[in-house]
Structure 1
């Protein structure tokens, strides 16, 4: 099982991704067929795409939710999918400019602002979608909650203007970006898929040293994502350790020192023992 998981997750999957092949299991097909019945599926997919998926999955069985799950009292459900997402994705793919009206924290409305949409990002912590876009007038990179966007429409841009804006966006993001290298303790190689899943929302590269049987994950982090990465590292516990990133090392040391202090333990007393 250990050997199979190593080969399957690292070598086979990476090669399939390079060839543009996507593997799905029967359970995933059943899950997708069930999710297509959810009301938000009408917003998530165009009518043609949704009908095509339903036709492809005609032979698959739906998951019998009532047999496996019992729903009890819960808080108000937060809608993960937003109707504007499909329109925003299309504008990004078409390399179009935008005219956007949105609200900020104090409720003030910024109307008819011109910009270039760059990327849609989902915050796993806040469970919300954000639009990253370049404000043409202020010449700054903006991060706007999609739920705060009132209206957005395409605005054709000259190719040179779009490329110049895109270059500025990349330059700003590069300044904010930091790289961290996280090593998987070899004893936990069999849990590699779980560890990689914890960092699935980040740009990353995986290296494997066959001599030491060690996996090393290199993650690209923007300035405001550091705390989320730290929460994942703490969640994984002794399975991983930070080998490169002064910021992450310092924050992990601070958290560990404070945790030990609650029990009257100091680093010097650990050395003495």
Structure 2
């Protein structure tokens, strides 16, 4: 495989995204051809899509893992793909109404709730899919694990009513959003791809200041995602600086102060000098 087949450069990738172009390496094509033989592929793709992909990959050599990979005993893992994903995506794209029944705490069941599917989200921490939907009876935005869904069926919904619901959802989400601006420290510009990847799961825009030669990230998160954003900022350390966002600045200051209180007195003034003894 040509090692330069995929270029990890922000300017190039952003321009390709704007034109609707997606780069796929030979290794990724070989991996996809092998994964199409996995039993989960039958649920993940419609027969027509699967057949089309197999035709496009016919000339690609399948990825062989038997020579250098050995699967050992492991604990049970949750399946990343869920059978309802394709059905729910169709409802979201078509903005059609749904009638769902789902399980809540202590095994209780909420039957036949009318709503509108809005978005699918995947939790990297819990390794589960969530459906973000609007409950038409309670006029509330709900988040339900796909593993708790018992049944789902289409329900007629007037397009004008669906538009009003989407406007209500947008207002609700906007009220929960927190916006912050981060600056990439110049000496770490060479790690820009890694830094952008760390924030890839957030809604963001990237700006380049030609006069100062710095990159700025404007990141929008919901209220319950702030702690996760903080963990990413701490992970990157000196590579980024918070320019806007009083709450985030205060939390970072608190964390730094506590760290200094715990470890500050233990740091030797000559910490950079290491004495080696046999």
- Normalising by the residue count of structure 1, what TM-score does the alignment of the two structures yield? 0.89
Aligned-residue offset at 1:61: 2.2
Unaligned segments of structure 1, at least 5 residues: none
In structure 1, the residue matched to 2:274 is none
Q: 1:189 to 1:97 in 2, by over 3 A?
A: same
Distance 1:33 1:213 in 2: 43
After TM superposition, the structure 1 stretch with the greater mean CA deviation from structure 2, 62-71 or 241-250, is 62-71
After TM superposition, the structure 1 stretch with the greater mean CA deviation from structure 2, 211-220 or 87-96, is 211-220
In structure 2, the residue matched to 1:111 is 111
Distance 1:187 1:62 in 2: 42
In structure 2, the residue matched to 1:189 is 189
Q: Does 1:80 align with 2:80?
A: yes
In structure 2, the residue matched to 1:238 is 238
Aligned-residue offset at 1:18: 1.5
Aligned-residue offset at 1:142: 0.3
CA contact (8 A) 2:8 2:193 kept: no
Relative contact order, higher structure (CA 8 A, sep 6+):
1
After TM superposition, the structure 1 stretch with the greater mean CA deviation from structure 2, 48-57 or 88-97, is 48-57
In structure 1, the residue matched to 2:253 is 253
CA contact (8 A) 1:125 1:228 kept: no
After TM superposition, the structure 1 stretch with the greater mean CA deviation from structure 2, 124-133 or 64-73, is 64-73
In structure 1, the residue matched to 2:157 is 157
In structure 2, the residue matched to 1:120 is 120
In structure 1, the residue matched to 2:225 is 225
Show the 5 A alignment for 1:37-76.
37-76=37-76
Distance 1:57 1:148 in 2: 36
Q: Does 1:210 align with 2:210?
A: yes
Larger helix proportion of the pair: 1
Aligned-residue offset at 1:53: 0.9
Distance 2:243 2:63 in 1: 43
After TM superposition, the structure 1 stretch with the greater mean CA deviation from structure 2, 138-147 or 182-191, is 182-191
Aligned-residue offset at 1:36: 1.9
Aligned-residue offset at 1:264: 5.0
Show the 5 A alignment for 1:139-158.
139-158=139-158
After TM superposition, the structure 1 stretch with the greater mean CA deviation from structure 2, 203-212 or 146-155, is 203-212
Show the 5 A alignment for 1:17-36.
17-36=17-36
- Aligned CA RMSD, in angstroms, stands at 2.0
Distance 1:69 1:155 in 2: 47
CA contact (8 A) 1:186 1:213 kept: yes
CA contact (8 A) 1:99 1:152 kept: yes
1:68-112 deviation per Cα after TM superposition (whole angstroms, max 9, x unaligned): 433333221111110000000000111101101011133211010
Distance 2:149 2:254 in 1: 38
Aligned-residue offset at 1:54: 1.4
Q: Does 1:135 align with 2:126?
A: no
Distance 1:112 1:66 in 2: 48
1:23-69 deviation per Cα after TM superposition (whole angstroms, max 9, x unaligned): 11112212222222222222211111111111111222232223343
